[in-house]
Amino acid sequence: MPTYEYECTHCGLITEEFKPMSAPKRQRCPKCRSKVERLISGGVGLHFKGSGFYITDSRVKKGSVAGESPSSSTPSSSHNTKNADKNKG
């Protein structure tokens, strides 16, 4: 259900109403009983709460180990063998 805002043309009071779209619109100010005009609202803001989504949040593919990516093991192992070869010679 949407929230509607109304402003009184006489006293300037702004009121909000949370009601279905099929409900009749407000005609009078609750304070001074003068005419009100419906305000155009900016809509609602979208709020993301929590830490968010990351590539590691997806399901593990069949045949792979959880928490290990295929690209992370290859460069580190080849890097270690190169250093081992340099230390030998």
16 with 5: CB under 8 angstroms? yes
Predicted confidence band at 1 (pLDDT cuts at 50, 70, 90)? Answer: confident
- 85: amino acid identity, one letter: D
pLDDT of residue 29: 94
- 72: amino acid identity, one letter: S
Q: For 10-67, write each residue's pLDDT tens digit.
A: 999 999 988 888 999 899 999 999 999 999 876 666 667 776 666 666 666 666 565 5
Based on the number of CB atoms within 10 Å of its own CB, is 27 exposed (0-12), middle (13-18) or buried (19 or more)?
Answer: exposed
